[in-house]
């Protein structure tokens, strides 16, 4: 069994997922618009080019999302997406990419539990934590 995060956007899911693909070194493997779905006649024409379903694969992980209709869109809250990265330099790169155009809650840097950790909210309003855990040998040192 696996779990996957599914994010809702207010009309900019395509832009967000292209951004996440670059930040996470992943790739969008599916991007289905409302116009391409059987729901095309059930949504306003203004939503036809918006994404009904988008899938990003990065490593063995998946991030999912969509553009929610205005009456179903709710701003995010009560969670953060955590990215676990093995190498400190790559963790810092991911953090900087996600924070670009957003806000930093905790600058990326070493902590007592990690080689590097930082918290940010990206330009789309999605909260992230980037963590580069200490290896058992590094933690013992």
The domain ranges of the chain are 5-67, 81-140
Over residues 32-58, mean pLDDT: 93
Nearest-CA neighbor of 78 among 32, 139, 126?
126
Give the CA distances from residue 28 to residues 17, 53, 57, 62, in Å, rounded to whole numbers and listed in that order. 7, 11, 6, 10
Question: Can you tell me the mean pLDDT for 57-76?
Answer: 91
Q: Quick one: pLDDT at residue 43?
A: 87
Tell me if 96 sits within 8 A of 141, measured CB to CB: no
CATH topology match: 5-67 vs 81-140: yes
Distance between CA atoms of 66 and 103, rounded to whole angstroms? 23
C-alpha 35/C-alpha 50 separation (Å) is 8
Report the 10 Å Cβ neighbour count for 41.
Answer: 8
Helices (H), the chain: 13-23, 88-99, 136-140
| Residue 71 pLDDT grade (very low, low, confident, very high; cuts 50, 70, 90) | confident
What is the pTM assigned to this prediction? 0.88
| pLDDT value for 137 | 54
pLDDT for the residue 31: 97
User: What does the alpha-carbon distance between residue 30 and residue 139 come to, in Å, rounded to a whole number?
Assistant: 40
Beta carbons within 8 Å of 75's beta carbon, 6+ residues apart? 125
Pick the CATH number of 81-140 from 3.90.1300.10, 3.90.1150.10, 3.10.180.10, 3.30.390.10: 3.10.180.10
Q: Over range 32-46, report the average pLDDT.
A: 91
Our CA angle for 134, 135, 139, nearest 5°, is 65
Q: Tell me what the mean pLDDT of segment 8-21 comes to.
A: 97
pLDDT at site 3 = 87
Q: What is the token pair recorded at 69?
A: 């209709």
CATH class for the domain made up of 5-67: alpha beta
């Amino acid at each position: 069994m696996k779990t996957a995060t599914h994010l809702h956007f207010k009309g900019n899911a395509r832009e967000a997922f292209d951004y996440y693909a670059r930040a996470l070194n992943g790739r969008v493997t599916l991007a289905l618009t409302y116009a391409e779905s059987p729901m095309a006649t059930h949504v306003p024409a203004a939503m036809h080019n918006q994404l009904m379903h988008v899938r990003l694969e990065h490593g063995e992980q998946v991030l999912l999302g969509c553009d929610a209709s205005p009456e179903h869109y709710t701003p995010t809250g009560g969670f953060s997406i955590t990215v676990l990265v093995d190498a400190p330099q790559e963790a810092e790169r991911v953090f900087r990419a996600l924070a670009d155009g957003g806000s930093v809650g905790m600058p990326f840097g070493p902590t007592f539990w990690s080689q590097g950790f930082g918290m940010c909210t990206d330009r789309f309003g999605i909260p992230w934590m980037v963590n580069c855990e200490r290896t058992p040998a590094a933690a013992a040192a």
